[in-house]
């Protein structure tokens, strides 16, 4: 499918036009088209063949011509012209938090800054100071923004890693030589971001598996092609390592290559204390220079001979180590929440704001997942850029939901909102309107730079509003794009607990907010959670698994999560009806 490539080009064209100070509507049309194309479920070439391009929302005659041009020639002349004028590398500069198109252009024209390295150099050498609108503080922010972007370039988010790994696993699974195949490493531990993908295969015939791996269609370069280990770079520059191990030691290898490194170190220490040894080939009893294999075939057997319970991969981090390996006594592992415990999604958008699907389509997709409810929480009026819903339109939305609910027996659509929390902690709709919703999610989408006390006060105030049930993406982080804002999470947890407000674990892969560290901390502080997808398309409902993974990594149990409740229990919990 060429969908993603075309979406990417339109996204870039939007950004380049923004840098050129073009008409805002023109800029917006490229961004909107990029988003809509990226979210298409159908192959754009099929749509073109059926002459239905103009039916894609936001695609007018001009954009239709550009899509056709790309599908015919593999190029878009207008894009090439733009990159002649403005180097593409400036898009990365523009993506740095607190830079943006205007400053990127300023640095380019005044200082010939073409890329991130150039900007960093100019900032350190003091060349930025004195340019229009640049103060000492701006430079500090730019330098820390560069760090965020560099980290983002070095590590992909869990969503991307999952997609890449799944595509490779699906192809290799077809080989008769492959018995088991599991992505290990940070991906198996569901870490928020992943540097490279480590896949483990159980096979008696490694050579065949290696050959198939290095010839996969997604391979750009082969960095290594050995007898039992190979390493490739995909066309998107993602490193994937594949190891083949013998079936008899698959468990020990899986344990080793799942890590984390710190967890492995701890495991080795425990083994030594018991007169044993652990490595990727097994767990051994050591007696002088004699070694006897005790376990290797499955992870469970390896843990058992070390007198440990099975430790879920998500817990194999430094976090929670004092519970996993207490100084005296047995490891205590709670029964972690599972995806199957989730009974509904409490934060999705519809086309009433910036969602791609109708309320009905979102509801049907949730029903298909076996949910009991979904809350349609569109943006509030102030967030115009995301189609915030006006008070008049709310009435229409509510009627539509009531009408649909009449038809459902064991399913309910909740009338919700993701309401803007302003700079002072006030909410975008008045109390009367807020009282009419089934679910209110408070969210910060502006003024990320506020100092800690201000931001904390702002969030606490929203949290204590009697109508607010959930605080959306509590730290505002965008992985690789925007650092979290500065908030006293402890204070927020305490206020949330007192006010019966739930902290969101936002499952959207570029957010994952709260992240697992914050979840772990918030849980200790007594907070309760709602795991939501923030879906803007039915396809995004799948992201729930990532939010659940964050909860598991934070040692969260079912009882601490609002949307594991049945509809009746949920209403009771939030004092509705």
Residue 525 tokens, joined: 């502080």
3 state SS for 209-256: HHHHHHCCCCEEEEEEECCCEEEEEECCCCEEEEEEECHHHHHHHHHH
For residue 222, what are the β-bridge partners?
Answer: 232
Residue that has been written with the tokens 């730079």 in this structure: 449
Smallest distance from the beta carbon of 341 to Ca ion, in angstroms?
28
Residues 312-324: b if buried by 16+ CB within 10 A, e if exposed:
ebbbbbebbeeeb
The answer to whether residue 196 forms part of the interface with Ca ion (CB under 5 A) is yes
Count of residues binding Ca ion (CB under 5 A)? 3
Smallest distance from the beta carbon of 322 to ligand DGT, in angstroms?
20
The answer to whether residue 417 forms part of the interface with ligand DGT (CB under 6 A) is no
* Helix 100-111 / helix 3-19 crossing angle, nearest 10 deg: 60
Q: Which is nearer to Ca ion, 198 or 202 (CB)?
A: 198
Smallest distance from the beta carbon of 516 to Ca ion, in angstroms?
17
The answer to whether residue 487 forms part of the interface with ligand DGT (CB under 6 A) is no
CA 540 – CA 35 distance, rounded (Å)? 13
Residue that has been written with the tokens 């502006």 in this structure: 446
Q: Which is nearer to ligand DGT, 198 or 345 (CB)?
A: 198
CA 278 – CA 307 distance, rounded (Å)? 13
Residue 20 tokens, joined: 């050129």
Q: DSSP class of residue 48?
A: H
Quick one: what does residue 436 bind among Ca ion, ligand DGT, none, with the CB cut-off 5 to 8 Å set by partner type?
none
Residue nearest to ligand DGT (CB): 259
Rule CB under 6 A: choose which of 73, 109, 261, 575 binds ligand DGT.
Answer: 261
Q: Which is nearer to Ca ion, 115 or 196 (CB)?
A: 196
Q: Which is nearer to ligand DGT, 62 or 223 (CB)?
A: 223
Smallest distance from the beta carbon of 151 to Ca ion, in angstroms?
15
H or E element at residue 464: helix 452-464
The answer to whether residue 497 forms part of the interface with ligand DGT (CB under 6 A) is no
The interface with Ca ion within residues 146-185 (CB under 5 A) comprises: 185
CA 67 – CA 3 distance, rounded (Å)? 10
Smallest distance from the beta carbon of 188 to Ca ion, in angstroms?
9
The answer to whether residue 250 forms part of the interface with ligand DGT (CB under 6 A) is no
Q: Which is nearer to ligand DGT, 264 or 506 (CB)?
A: 264
Q: Which residue stretch of 210-218, 254-262, 409-417, 546-554 sits at the interface with ligand DGT (rule: CB under 6 A)?
A: 254-262
CA 209 – CA 315 distance, rounded (Å)? 31
Quick one: what does residue 260 bind among ligand DGT, Ca ion, none, with the CB cut-off 5 to 8 Å set by partner type?
ligand DGT
Rule CB under 6 A: choose which of 30, 79, 250, 257 binds ligand DGT.
Answer: 257
CA angle (320 as vertex; 318, 325 as ends), nearest 5: 85
H or E element at residue 157: strand 156-157
Contact (CB, 8 A) for 64 and 53? yes
Q: Which is nearer to ligand DGT, 188 or 343 (CB)?
A: 188
Compute, in degrees rounded to 10, the torsion defined by CA atoms 94, 95, 100, 102: 20
Alpha helices per DSSP H over 484-533? 489-499, 516-524
Contact (CB, 8 A) for 271 and 282? no
The interface with Ca ion within residues 108-127 (CB under 5 A) comprises: none
Contact (CB, 8 A) for 502 and 532? no
The answer to whether residue 486 forms part of the interface with Ca ion (CB under 5 A) is no
Rule CB under 5 A: choose which of 192, 198, 345, 513 binds Ca ion.
Answer: 198
Smallest distance from the beta carbon of 249 to ligand DGT, in angstroms?
15
Q: Which is nearer to Ca ion, 125 or 153 (CB)?
A: 153
Q: Which is nearer to Ca ion, 198 or 504 (CB)?
A: 198
Quick one: what does residue 261 bind among Ca ion, ligand DGT, none, with the CB cut-off 5 to 8 Å set by partner type?
ligand DGT
Q: Which is nearer to ligand DGT, 264 or 501 (CB)?
A: 264
Quick one: what does residue 257 bind among Ca ion, ligand DGT, none, with the CB cut-off 5 to 8 Å set by partner type?
ligand DGT
For residue 380, what are the β-bridge partners?
Answer: 389
What count of other Cβ atoms lies within 10 Å of the Cβ of residue 406?
7
Residue 95 tokens, joined: 């993506």
Count of residues binding ligand DGT (CB under 6 A)? 13
- How would you class 154 by CB atoms within 10 Å of its CB: exposed for 0-12, middle for 13-18, buried for 19 or more? exposed
CA 342 – CA 353 distance, rounded (Å)? 25
The answer to whether residue 192 forms part of the interface with Ca ion (CB under 5 A) is no
Smallest distance from the beta carbon of 213 to ligand DGT, in angstroms?
17
The interface with ligand DGT within residues 157-196 (CB under 6 A) comprises: 185-186, 191, 194-196
The interface with ligand DGT within residues 264-293 (CB under 6 A) comprises: 264
Q: Which is nearer to ligand DGT, 258 or 563 (CB)?
A: 258
The answer to whether residue 97 forms part of the interface with Ca ion (CB under 5 A) is no
H or E element at residue 442: strand 439-443
Report helix, strand or coil for 204. Answer: coil
CA 413 – CA 364 distance, rounded (Å)? 10
Q: Which is nearer to Ca ion, 114 or 155 (CB)?
A: 155
Smallest distance from the beta carbon of 196 to Ca ion, in angstroms?
4
Q: Which is nearer to ligand DGT, 109 or 261 (CB)?
A: 261
Smallest distance from the beta carbon of 372 to ligand DGT, in angstroms?
36
Report helix, strand or coil for 564. Answer: helix
Smallest distance from the beta carbon of 164 to Ca ion, in angstroms?
12
Euclidean distance between the first and final Cα of the chain, in Å? 48
Rule CB under 6 A: choose which of 18, 35, 192, 198 binds ligand DGT.
Answer: 198
Q: Which is nearer to Ca ion, 241 or 372 (CB)?
A: 241
The answer to whether residue 259 forms part of the interface with ligand DGT (CB under 6 A) is yes
What residues line the site for Ca ion (CB under 5 A)?
A: 185, 196, 198
What residues line the site for ligand DGT (CB under 6 A)?
A: 185-186, 191, 194-196, 198, 256-257, 259-261, 264
């Amino acid at each position: 499918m060429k969908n993603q490539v075309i979406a990417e080009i339109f996204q870039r064209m939007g950004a380049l036009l923004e840098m050129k100070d073009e008409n805002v509507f023109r800029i917006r049309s490229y961004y909107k088209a990029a988003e809509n194309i990226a979210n298409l479920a159908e192959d754009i070439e099929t749509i073109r063949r059926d002459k239905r391009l103009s039916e894609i929302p936001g695609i007018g005659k001009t954009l239709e011509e550009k899509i056709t041009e790309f599908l015919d020639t593999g190029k878009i002349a207008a894009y090439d012209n733009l990159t002649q004028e403005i180097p593409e590398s400036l898009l990365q500069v523009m993506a740095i938090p607190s830079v943006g198109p205007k400053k990127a252009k300023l640095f380019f024209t005044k200082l010939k800054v073409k890329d991130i390295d150039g900007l960093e150099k100019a900032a350190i050498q003091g060349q930025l100071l004195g340019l229009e609108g640049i103060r000492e503080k701006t430079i500090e922010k730019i330098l820390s923004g560069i760090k965020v972007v560099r980290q983002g370039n070095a590590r992909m988010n869990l969503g991307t890693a999952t997609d890449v790994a799944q595509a490779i696993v699906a192809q290799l699974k077809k080989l008769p030589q492959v018995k088991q195949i599991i992505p290990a490493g940070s991906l198996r531990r569901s870490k928020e971001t992943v540097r490279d993908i480590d896949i483990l295969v159980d096979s008696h015939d490694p050579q065949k598996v290696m050959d198939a791996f290095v010839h996969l269609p997604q391979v750009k370069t082969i960095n290594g092609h050995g007898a039992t280990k190979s390493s490739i770079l995909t066309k998107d520059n993602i490193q994937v390592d594949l190891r083949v191990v013998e079936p008899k030691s698959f468990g020990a290898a899986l344990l080793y290559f799942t890590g984390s490194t710190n967890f492995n170190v701890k495991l080795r220490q425990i083994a030594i204390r018991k007169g044993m040894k652990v490595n990727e080939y097994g767990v051994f009893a050591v007696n002088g220079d004699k070694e006897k294999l005790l376990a290797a075939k499955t992870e469970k057997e390896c843990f058992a001979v070390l007198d440990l319970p099975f430790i879920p991969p998500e817990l194999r981090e430094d976090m929670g180590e004092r519970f996993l390996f207490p100084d005296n006594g047995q490891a205590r592992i709670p029964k972690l929440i599972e995806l199957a415990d989730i009974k509904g999604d409490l934060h999705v958008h519809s086309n009433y704001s910036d969602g791609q699907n109708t309320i009905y389509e979102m509801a049907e997709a949730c029903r298909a997942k076996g949910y009991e409810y979904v809350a349609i929480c569109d943006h509030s009026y102030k967030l115009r850029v995301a189609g915030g819903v006006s008070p008049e339109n709310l009435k229409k939305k509510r009627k539509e939901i009531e009408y649909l609910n009449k038809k459902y027996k064991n399913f309910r659509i909740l009338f919700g909102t993701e309401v803007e929390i302003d700079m002072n902690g006030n909410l975008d709709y008045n109390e009367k309107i807020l009282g009419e919703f089934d679910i209110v999610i408070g969210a910060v989408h502006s003024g990320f730079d506020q100092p800690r006390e201000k931001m904390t006060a702002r969030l606490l105030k929203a949290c204590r509003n009697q109508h607010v049930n959930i605080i959306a993406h509590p730290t505002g982080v965008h992985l690789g794009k925007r650092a979290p804002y500065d908030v006293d999470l402890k204070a927020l947890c305490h206020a949330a607990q007192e006010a019966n407000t739930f902290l969101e674990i936002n499952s959207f892969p570029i957010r994952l907010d709260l992240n697992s560290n914050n979840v772990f901390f918030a849980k200790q502080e007594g907070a309760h959670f709602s795991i939501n997808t923030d879906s803007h398309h039915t396809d995004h409902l799948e992201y729930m698994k990532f939010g659940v993974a964050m909860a598991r990594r934070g040692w969260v149990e079912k009882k601490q999560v609002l949307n594991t409740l049945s509809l009746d229990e949920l209403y009771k919990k939030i004092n509705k009806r």
